[in-house]
Amino acid sequence: MSAHAPTGARDGVPILVVAALEKWFAVARSPIDVIRRRPRERVHAVDGVSLQLLPNEVLGIVGESGSGKSTLARCLVALYRPDQGTINFDGVDVTEATGQVRRDLHGRMQMIYQDPFTSLNPQMSIGAAIEEAGKVHGREGDDFVGDLLEVVGLPRSFARRRPRALSGGQRQRAAIARALAVQPEVLIADEAVSALDVSIQAQILNLFAQLSDDLGLAMIFIAHDLAVVSHVADRVAIMYLGRIVEEGPVESVFRTPRHPYTRALLDAHPDPYALGAAEETAAISGDIPSPLDIPSGCRFRTRCPYATDVCETDDPALAPDDRPHRVACHVLPFGPPAEG
Partner 1 sequence: MTSLDAAPRTDRPEASATPLLTIEGLRIGFPSLEGLVLAANDAHLTVGEGEVLGLVGESGSGKSVTCRAIVGMVPHPGAVLGGRIDFAGRNVLEFSKAEMRELRARQIAMIFQDPASALNPVFTIGHQISEVLRLNAGLSRAEARNRSIELLERVGIPAPDRRMSAYPHEMSGGMRQRVMIAMALAGEPRLLLADEPTTALDVTIQDQVLRLLEDLRRERNMSMILVSHDMGVIGTAADRVAVMYAGRIVEVAPTDVLFSRPDHPYTRALIDAMPQLTPEDRSDLRTIPGQPPDLLKLPEGCPFAPRCPLARDECAEVSMELTAVSPAQSSACPFARDGS
For residue 299, state whether it binds partner 1 (rule: CB under 8 A): no
Determine the interface stretch with partner 1 among 85-93, 178-186, 227-235, 316-324 (rule: CB under 8 A): 227-235
Give the interface segment with partner 1, choosing from 14-22, 137-145, 264-272, 312-320 (CB under 8 A). Answer: 264-272
What secondary structure, in 3-state letters, does the chain show? CHHHCCCCCCCCCCCEEEEEEEEEEECCCCHHHHHCCCCCCEEEEEEEEEEEECCCCEEEEECCCCCCHHHHHHHHCCCCCCCEEEEEECCEEHHHCCHHHHHHHHHHEEEECCCHHHHCCCCCCHHHHHHHHHHHCCCCCCCHHHHHHHHCCCCHHHHHCCHHHCCHHHHHHHHHHHHHHCCCCEEEEECCCCCCCHHHHHHHHHHHHHHHHHCCCEEEEEECCHHHHHHHCCEEEEEECCEEEEEEEHHHHHHCCCCHHHHHHHHHCCCHHHCCHHHHCCCCCCCCCCCCCCCCCCCCHHHCCCCCHHHHHCCCCCCCCCCCCEECCCCCCCCCCCCC
**How many chain residues interact with partner 1 (CB under 8 A)?**
43
Binding of residue 71 to partner 1 (CB under 8 A): no
Using CB under 8 A as the binding rule, whether residue 227 contacts partner 1 is answered as yes
Looking at the Cβ atoms of 140 and 287, the one nearer to partner 1 is 287
Q: Which is nearer to partner 1, 133 or 304 (CB)?
A: 304
Contact pick of 92, 268, 319, 332 for partner 1 (by CB under 8 A) = 268
CB of 64 to partner 1, least distance (A): 4
Write down the least CB distance from residue 245 to partner 1, Å: 14
Sites for partner 1 among residues 271-290 (CB under 8 A): 271-275, 278, 283-285, 287-288
- Pick one of 7, 121, 167, 308: the residue that binds partner 1 (CB under 8 A): 167
Minimum distance of partner 1 from residue 154's CB (angstroms):
12
Task: Closer to partner 1 by CB, 271 or 314: give it.
Answer: 271
**Interface residue with partner 1, options 70, 125, 201, 302 (CB under 8 A):** 201
The residues that touch partner 1, with contacts defined as CB under 8 A, are 64-65, 167, 169-170, 197-203, 205-206, 209, 224-228, 230-231, 251, 254-255, 264-275, 278, 283-285, 287-288
